[in-house]
Structure 1
Amino acid sequence: MVFKDGNLAVRELSSKRYKDRDDEDMARAGKKQRFERNFGFLSMLGFTTTMMCTWEAVLFCNAIAMADGGPATLLYGFLFCWVGALVTAASLAEMASMAPTSSGQYHWVSMLAPKGQAVFLSWVTGWLDLIGWWANTAVGVYFGATVTQGLLVLNYPSYDLQRWHGTLLCFAGLVVCVLVNSVGAKLLPKVEGLILILHIMGFFAVLIPLVYLAPHKDASYVFATFQNDSGWSSNGLVWLIGLMGTNLPFIGYDGPCHMAEEVINASVTVPWCMIGTILLNGTLGFAIVVTFLFCIGDVDAALGSDTGYSYIEVFYAATKSHAGATVMAAIPAALVICASFGFLASSSRLTWAFARDKGLPFSDFLSHITHLKITGSDLPIRAVLLCAVITGIICIINIPSSAAFNAMISLTTAGLFASYEIAIVLMFMKKVKGEKVAYGPWTLGRWGIPINIAAIIFLTIAIFFSFFPQGLPVTPVNMNWSIVVFSGEFFLGLGWYLIYGRKIYNGPIIEAGVGSSEEQYTISSQE
């Protein structure tokens, strides 16, 4: 007779229970298990936290908020978006627990929408989600590339900064992301844990020397200053437009949803990771916001820096050293490239899932799973490559327009937030009407309706004002072209759907060989 260690027996029992729950969730969703479940709670929390890279994004995009309202927009706008992200993530987490599959929002919409609109709303939600994730990946590599250019300007004043240089660097970053998501995919859970440690250590490596070395502003400047130099006559409008810069640090908390089929005990782990990353990243981000405002020094010099990034100028003014400023500025740049690993992973899983359900052109080709002998992993390599190519195309808009940065941010915000809002509105309507909802083990309980309402209000504001130009007068150079790019991508997909896609897309499919269940999730139009 073999006696097992008590702790080992408990772990094995827990693992079996989690596996049974994951198998049941997949069966209820009508999906086959295609990937190995490598992510636990800590590795997925690290994945989500480093992917959002909130405190790093505050440094990258603070110039938008500072240009539209100054400290009042950056500080109070950040708090507003933090609360908005929390109620939105909570609303999504409830649905993620209900159906933890890579499909995410479009699967939930198919479950919640009225019978006659379920298929179309599901497709629209999936396409909007894809637009947002493709743009989000572009934002990540764009930051890494253009900060590198900024450091070249800082250290080599003779360097002639050209936007096409930045686009080539974006392509280089994408190559690294593809390699990590293919030959390095087996190590991704462990790598994400390491990056989480670097994410937190990097925070202190930047915060401490900045607080110690930089000259400090008065508290009145940080907490009670509003500046309107944008040309818009309404201060309230200016503040709302500036939210584009404070929303970006909280983009991507639905990432775990699209990795759910690779997460152990997904119906519990995924929701808690979504909430946990908002709380952790929000805390670090707010600390950086306050520190940056106290230590900004010469505001005009920072915002007008030849490097293209105000935080590089602030670091240089604090350290009075090219080497010191370069090391400090390179930390968030390196971390955002690491975050792009997660961006590409999430966007590729969503692309693969949508193709699996016949929601994309060439779905049979894109839904293929490749077995990599070098790693022994089954991966959606074709979806990874497609996402990388589309991301590269988006990065090209950096060449003709200096406002490409704002356009990418707006695309991310509009695409992702619109997909969130459709799902949350439908869930809210179900609750208000008192209709039955197949909740998972993670629920909002009696707080569900007020939290859903708060999320809907926040998302509506964020989407609407993400398309506004930053200032007046509007010119072809400073125009926020995101509405054009967003509309083009949306109607291109809609054209395909109306001509051909509606004949083959019937919502999330029930895969052959999956056992049926009384509680199996079905699409309203198929009931």
Structure 2
Amino acid sequence: METHELKSHTSVTSRGEAKTGQSVRQRDNAHLQRMGKKPVLKRNFGLLSIFGFSCTILALSLDLWRSTSPPCNVLSCTTLIASSGGSGGTIYAFIFAWTGTAAIFVILSELASMWGQYHWAAMLAPIRYQKFLSYITGWWAVLGWQTALASLSFLTGTAIQGAAVLGNSHYDSLPWQGTLLVWASLGCALLANLAGGKVLPRIETITLIVHILGFFGIMIPLAYMSEHRSKEEVFLQLSNNGGFKTQGLSWFVGMTSCAFALAGGDAAVHMSEEVKNASRVVPRVIMLSVAINGCLGFGMMITVLFCNSNQKDALDSPTGYPFMAIFYEATNSLPGSLAMCSIVLINYCCSLVGMLAAASRQLWSFSRDKGVPGWRWWSQVPPTRELPVYSIILTVLISTMLALINIGSSVALDDILSMAVSGSYLSYLMVSILLFYRRIRGEVFRFDDSENDICNVPGAKLVWGPFHCPGIWGILVNAFAIIYNIIVVFFSFWPSTVNPSVEEMNWSVLGIGGSSLLAIVYYFVCARHVYTGPVRELSE
């Protein structure tokens, strides 16, 4: 279709007509057209389904349980309860991480109504740097999301194996069995993603209900049936088992576990081309997700801290997952604890479906702009499916191959998967700095829904989307987001103890550094000849 025909087809109607489904679709297409992109994906997600999608990926109340145990902490972050902060440190780390993440999500929401993550770097950076900065930001985002998917799939498969250990004490769990369970989990997520149509949005809507009801289904039995610790033990107990010079330093090292548990707010951004009225819905979903999951996570964390009377036994659980030991200790019933574990496992499996969708869309978007090897394959969208099928399959294959490492060494796999937090927060940091630079210079203008000109691409006019934090408040939030990002990235590279052994060492700095170096080499050898930043599929 010619450009002038697309402009005519996607012209924005009056505000009175915007209430109809037809005019919303036209406005969505007009938004893409202003970015120079053709609409090729079908918009199946509404407000409720994309909200369920975002909430279940965060799955905050469950991630906190994972972050309390070394055997299942695939990011090589220190354990908050047992090592770095104690119960009190965990609470205050969560509050700090929640506040910092909320600031980041405000920035992401502002930019989400403008465009996508590495596109943000391209449109905000000075012209002479926009090509390289958008490229490396895109690679950090790819690394973060691909390793996060591998992390969640490993967590899901081994948690199922842990539940089997809980149910049968004679079961001898072996690494290769865990890998097979990881593959089975990925297979189910792949089928759900390839189903297309309304299947995925409906799954996410149902998952949202399970997520909310499951929270109460676990918290109420825990709070009612378990023995309780005193409020002094919960709120005032601090620990520094890592051997750091100060309690504050130990606390910052442990805080990164909460930071990862709260990450992933940009998931809805990667699905924006499949969301109706995306420039308004996605920012609302991002902010609602951090608010609701933050409340659920904080409530669950307080419950677990009050109910976990024997922390050492929980951490040494043969299942490898402390929350399973906590459930059994609270209920003193194997069927009851297994029923509670099943709620967690269902949420993990549903989160895996959404994580695969977000990671594959991010890869597809970057491939569309020729940023990765083999981009001609991964950027294809079969017209009969309206899904990035090849990117979905490649994303599953990457996690499938990484799961093989677990057979030889779960420690080696942990070191690779530890790149998830570093890659994600480095991409957040880059766009936060660039937006702050543009904001204080007054180079982003007010949003006008009636404009049809190309905007928010390199060299074009920058305009705010419908979501915008104005004035001095926007500057302060942006500045705090930068400070918080720097803290998280810096301490995400630290080991959990002073003078660590080879197995205790946090190798994420090597992983993210080596991957970034390979990406830079590929850029100068090949990518700089084809990658020009976000490709304009439509001319002005």
* TM-score, length of structure 1 as denominator length: 0.91
Q: Which amino acid aligns with 1:69?
A: G
Alignment partner of 2:20: what SS?
A: helix
Pairing of 1:308-323 with structure 2 (within 5 A): 308-323=320-335
* Residue 133 (structure 1) aligns with: 145
CA contact (8 A) 1:403 1:479 kept: no
Give the C-alpha shift of residue 25 in structure 1. Answer: 1.0
**8 A Cα contact 2:150 2:417, kept in partner:** no
Is the 8 Å Cα contact of residues 217 and 297 (structure 1) preserved in structure 2? Answer: yes
Conserved 8 A contact 1:232-1:471 = yes
Deviations 1:257-282 (A, max 9, x none): 11000111111101110000000000
| Aligned twin of 2:464 | 439
Deviation for aligned residue 1:158: 2.3
1:188 CA drift (Å):
0.6
1:454 corresponds to which letter in structure 2?
F
* Residue of structure 2 in register with 1:287 after alignment: 299
Counterparts of 1:155 and 1:337, CA distance in 2: 19
Runs of 5+ consecutive residues of structure 2 not aligned to the other structure: 1-15, 70-78, 445-461
1:515/1:493 Cα in 2 relative to 1: closer, same or farther (>3 Å)? closer
What do the CA deviations read for 1:29-81 (whole angstroms, capped 9, x no partner)? Answer: 11000011111111111110011111111122223211222212321111111
- In structure 2, the residue corresponding to 1:62 is in which secondary structure? coil
Structure 2 residue matching 1:107: 3-state secondary structure: helix
Alpha-carbon contact 2:422-2:508 (below 8 Å) kept: no
Indicate the larger mover: 344-353 or 168-177. Answer: 168-177
**1:524 corresponding residue in structure 2:** none
Asked whether 1:32 is paired with 2:38, we answer yes
Amino acid at match of 2:395: C
Distance 1:504 1:452 in 2: 33
Paired position in structure 2 for 1:519: none
State how far apart, in whole Å, the 2-side matches of 1:290 and 1:16 are. Answer: 47
Equivalent residue number for residue 4 of structure 1: none
1:65 pairs with 2:80: yes
The answer (yes or no) to whether the contact 1:27–1:515 under 8 Å persists in 2 is no
Once residues 405 and 319 of structure 1 are traced to their aligned partners in structure 2, the CA distance between those partners, rounded to angstroms, is 33
Q: Tell me the equivalent position of 2:47.
A: 41
Structure 1 unpaired stretches of 5+: 1-9, 517-527
Letter aligned with residue 281 of structure 1: N
Deviation at residue 180 of structure 1 after TM alignment: 0.8
Report the CA distance shift for 1:237/1:148 in structure 2 as closer, same or farther (over 3 A). same
| Residues 282 and 273 of structure 1: CA distance in aligned 2, closer, same or farther (over 3 Å) | same
Q: Aligned with 1:158: secondary structure? A: coil
Separation of aligned partners in 2, 1:148 and 1:404? 21
> When the two structures are aligned, how many residues end up with a matched partner?
498
1:329-381 residue CA offsets vs partner (Å, 9 max, x unmatched) = 22112211110111110111111111111111111111111245xxxx31111
Are positions 1:89 and 2:105 aligned together? yes
Which of 337, 341, 344 matches 2:349? 337
Q: What one-letter code is carried by the residue in structure 2 that aligns with 1:407?
A: D
Separation in structure 2 between the aligned mates of residue 404 and residue 216 of structure 1, nearest angstrom? 38
Which residue number in structure 1 is paired with residue 392 of structure 2? Answer: 384
Q: CA deviation at 1:14?
A: 3.1
For the residues of structure 2 that align with 1:153 and 1:13, how far apart are their CA atoms? 54
- What letter corresponds to residue 89 of structure 2 in structure 1? T
How far 1:116 moved relative to its partner? 0.6
Per-residue CA shift, 1:257-316, capped at 9, x if unaligned?
110001111111011100000000000000001000000011111111111111111111
The 5-angstrom pairing of residues 498-509 of structure 1 reads: 498-509=524-535
Contact 2:112 2:282 in 1 (8 A): yes
Amino acid at match of 1:504: V
1:229 to 209, 234, 241: 241
Alpha-carbon separation, structure 1, partners of 2:272 and 2:255 = 30
Check if 1:51 corresponds to 2:67: no
Q: Distance in 2 between matches of 1:12 and 1:28?
A: 18
Q: Contact (CA 8 Å) 2:17, 2:23: kept in 1 or not?
A: no
Larger deviation: 442-451 or 126-135? 442-451
- In structure 2, what is the equivalent of residue 240 of structure 1? 252
Match for 2:511: what amino acid?
Answer: V
Whole-angstrom CA distance in 2 between matches of 1:164 and 1:90: 42
Residue 137 of structure 2 is aligned to residue 122 of structure 1 = no
Q: Which amino acid aligns with 1:191?
A: I
Partner residue, 2:372: 360
Deviations 1:137-196 (A, max 9, x none): 112112211111212222222222333322222121111111111025531111100000
Asked whether the equivalents of residues 403 and 480 of structure 1 are also in contact (C-alpha less than 8 Å), the reply is no
Cα-to-partner distance string for 1:68-120 (whole Å, 9 max, x where unaligned)? 22212321111111111110010011011122xxxx21111111101110000
With over 3 angstroms needed to count, the CA separation of the structure-2 counterparts of 1:55 and 1:408, relative to structure 1, is farther
Q: Give me the whole-angstrom Cα distance separating, in 1, the residues matched to 2:406 and 2:499.
A: 21
**Corresponding letter in the other structure for 1:39:** F
Q: Following the alignment from structure 1 to structure 2, what is the Cα–Cα distance between the partners of residues 510 and 240?
A: 43
**SS of residue in 2 equivalent to 1:508:** coil
Partner of 1:6: none
List per-residue Cα deviations over 1:15-40 (Å, max 9, x = no partner): 23322321221011110000111111
The secondary structure found in structure 1 opposite 2:373 is: coil
Could you list the per-position Cα deviations for residues 387-441 of structure 1 after superposition, in whole angstroms to 9, with x for gaps in the alignment?
Answer: 1111223334434444457536631111111111111100100111222441111
Q: What CA distance in whole angstroms lies between the structure 1 residues aligned with 2:401 and 2:89?
A: 32
Q: Which of 154-163 and 277-286 deviates more?
A: 154-163
Q: Secondary structure at the match of 1:39?
A: coil
Q: Does 1:451 align with 2:459?
A: no
Matches within 5 A, 1:94-493: 94-99=110-115, 104-184=116-196, 186-371=198-383, 377-403=385-411, 407=415, 410-436=418-444, 437-446=462-471, 447-493=473-519
Per the alignment, residue 496 of structure 1 pairs with: 522
For 2:47, give the aligned amino acid: F
**CA 119–497 in structure 1, closer or farther in 2 if over 3 Å, else same:** same
What's the C-alpha RMSD, in Å, of the aligned pairs? 1.8
Q: Distance in 1 between matches of 2:316 and 2:91?
A: 20
Question: Counterpart of 1:492 in structure 2: which amino acid?
Answer: L
The question of whether the paired residues in 1 share the 8 Å contact of 2:240 and 2:250 is answered with: yes
Instruction: Describe the shift of the 1:170–1:367 C-alpha distance in structure 2 as closer, same or farther (beyond 3 A).
Output: same
Inter-CA distance 313–11: structure 2 relative to 1 (3 Å threshold): farther
Identity %: 36
> Counterpart amino acid of 2:393?
L
